[in-house]
Amino acid sequence: MSRAMRLSVEIDGQERLVTVEPGTEGSSLVTVKWSDRAYEVDVSRLHAGRFSFIIPAFGYVSHEVSCYETESGEVALGIGGRQIKARVADSSRPKRATVFQAGGDRAVTAPMPGRLVRVLVEEDEKVVEGQGLAVVEAMKMENEVSSPADGVVKEVCVVAGESVEAGGVLVVVAAGSLDD
């Protein structure tokens, strides 16, 4: 059985110590502790960067959560239509950030709040570094958001016409060789 992870999590300037203890081998239940509270959470991976969390203490409702590392090294969490950015570090190694990447996936985020004008790619499409992925309109100017690396589009998280927040995840790119 794996041992508990102690993480330092900072959201909006507030830091908390969070402990995650795995359940028995083969179980999807984990125990998450913070602020003198403990919750059992049933965690299932839906696909790269997306999870279902069921917290029995709050009812047996599945909450879909997306989790990607941004270019700035923060973790972008998508929960109930909201985007939350956090800094996460393994408390046993405080100088080294814990990386939340699923197989090299990179979240490409909106540089500013605005309206998504166009999505320029589709899921499973190969892209090259610098290639346009989406166009965001802000203050009557269109801004093309480009791929941070060569790879494959794993997920398109938005549709044209939607409002987007600064830092909101637009597209997820699995970085790597295009020959894979």
Question: pTM score, two decimals?
Answer: 0.51
**Partners of 118 in the β-ladder:** 135
- Cα separation, 112 vs 103, in Å, equals 27
For residue 64, tell me if it sits in a domain: yes
Task: Write the CA distances from 12 to 15, 46, 118, integer angstroms.
Answer: 8, 28, 31
Q: What tokens were used for 153?
A: 């589009």
Q: What tokens were used for 135?
A: 């166009």
Q: What percent of the chain has pLDDT over 70?
A: 86
For residue 72, tell me if it sits in a domain: yes
Q: Look at residue 101 and tell me whether its pLDDT is greater than 60.
A: no
For residue 99, tell me if it sits in a domain: no
Q: Which of 90, 121, 145 is the last residue of a domain?
A: 90
- Cα separation, 84 vs 136, in Å, equals 20
Model pLDDT, residue 129 = 87
Q: Look at residue 145 and tell me whether its pLDDT is greater than 80.
A: yes
Q: Where are the beta strands (DSSP E) in 26-168?
A: 29-34, 37-47, 50-54, 62-69, 75-79, 82-90, 105-109, 114-119, 126-127, 132-138, 141-146, 151-156, 163-164
For residue 164, tell me if it sits in a domain: yes
Model pLDDT, residue 108 = 85
Domain count, the chain: 2
The CATH number given to whatever domain includes residue 161 is 2.40.50.100
Domain that residue 128 falls in: 105-175
**Partners of 41 in the β-ladder:** 30
Each residue's pLDDT tens digit, 44-77: 888 767 888 898 888 888 888 888 777 677 788 8
For residue 143, tell me if it sits in a domain: yes
